[in-house]
C-alpha cells in the first residue's frame, strides 16, 4: 500500500489563534511542528507533498514537493486537498495537519484496511467521539467531484465527504494522535508534557 499513497501535510492555514505565525514552522522543543509530522508520515507513504501558502522555501528544505493552494485566499483544507490531488502521482493520498505532532505510525495502514473492507471512496479517522476529517485516505479519482464542490463555493469538508461512501476508522485507542496545537499556550503545554515524558522514559531505561 505504501507505494500507492502520497502523504499530504496540510500547512496552508492562516493560524489566527497562533497570532498569524505559520504553525508548521512553530518550534516545539526545538523542532518545527511539521518535522514531527513528516517524520511519522514518510515511512508510511511513497512520497510527501506539503501544502503551504507561505514560507515555501523553508518547507522545501525538507526535500519534498511544496504545493500552494490552487485557489487563493486561504480556502481551507479542501482547497489544499484538491491542490495535492492534482499534484500527486499515486492513486491515493493520505492527509494530516501540520499542527498534530503526535501522528501515529499506523495512520495509513488502518485507514487502508477500513477502506478495503467496505470498498469506500475514502476513509476517515474517528477518535471515539467524533470524526477527525483532516486525517483521511482519499482516492485521487475524487478530484473532479471535489473541484465541482469548490466551484459551488462550498468549503465544508464534512458536507463533501457526505457525498461519498465513507469508511469511518476507529482510532479511539490512539486519541493522542489528534492533539493539535492552535495557540502558544497549547504549544508550551505540549512541549512540557513531551519533555516530562522523555525524562521519565530515560529514567526508566537507566541502570539501577
Could you read off the pLDDT of 117-160 as tens digits, one per residue? 999 999 999 999 999 999 999 999 999 999 999 999 999 999 99
Residues 139 and 121 sit within 8 Å (Cβ to Cβ): yes
Give the strand pairing for 122-126 and 131-139.
antiparallel
- The parent domain of residue 17 ranges over 2-205
Q: What is the CATH number of the domain that holds 192?
A: 3.90.550.10
Number of domain units in the chain: 1
Q: Which SS3 state, helix, strand or coil, does residue 103 take?
A: coil
Could you read off the pLDDT of 61-78 as tens digits, one per residue? 999 999 999 887 777 899
Looking at the DSSP assignment, which residues form a beta bridge with residue 5? 92
Q: Is 126 left (phi over 0), alpha (psi -120 to 50) or beta?
A: beta
Q: Report pTM.
A: 0.91
Per DSSP, helices labelled H in the chain are 33-41, 56-60, 77-87, 107-118, 143-151, 157-161, 184-205
Cell of 52: 503551504
Amino acid at each position: 500500500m505504501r507505494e500507492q499513497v502520497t502523504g499530504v501535510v496540510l500547512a496552508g492555514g492562516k493560524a489566527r489563534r497562533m497570532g498569524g505565525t505559520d504553525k508548521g514552522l512553530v518550534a516545539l522543543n526545538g523542532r518545527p511542528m511539521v518535522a514531527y509530522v513528516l517524520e511519522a508520515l514518510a515511512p508510511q507513504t511513497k512520497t510527501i507533498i506539503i501544502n503551504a501558502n507561505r514560507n515555501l522555501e523553508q518547507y522545501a528544505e525538507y526535500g519534498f514537493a511544496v504545493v500552494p493552494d490552487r485557489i487563493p485566499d486561504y480556502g481551507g483544507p479542501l482547497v489544499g486537498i484538491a491542490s495535492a490531488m492534482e499534484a500527486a502521482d499515486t492513486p491515493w493520498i493520505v492527509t494530516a495537519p501540520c499542527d498534530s505532532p503526535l501522528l501515529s505510525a499506523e495512520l495509513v495502514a488502518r485507514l487502508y484496511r477500513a477502506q478495503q473492507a467496505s470498498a469506500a471512496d475514502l476513509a476517515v479517522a474517528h477518535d471515539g467521539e467524533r470524526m477527525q476529517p483532516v486525517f483521511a485516505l482519499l482516492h485521487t479519482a475524487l478530484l473532479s467531484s471535489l473541484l465541482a464542490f469548490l466551484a459551488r463555493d462550498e468549503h465544508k469538508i464534512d458536507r463533501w465527504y457526505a457525498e461519498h461512501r465513507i469508511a469511518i476508522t476507529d482510532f479511539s485507542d490512539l486519541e493522542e494522535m489528534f492533539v493539535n496545537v492552535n495557540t502558544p499556550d497549547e504549544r508550551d503545554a505540549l512541549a512540557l508534557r513531551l519533555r516530562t515524558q522523555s525524562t521519565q522514559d530515560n529514567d526508566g531505561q537507566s541502570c539501577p
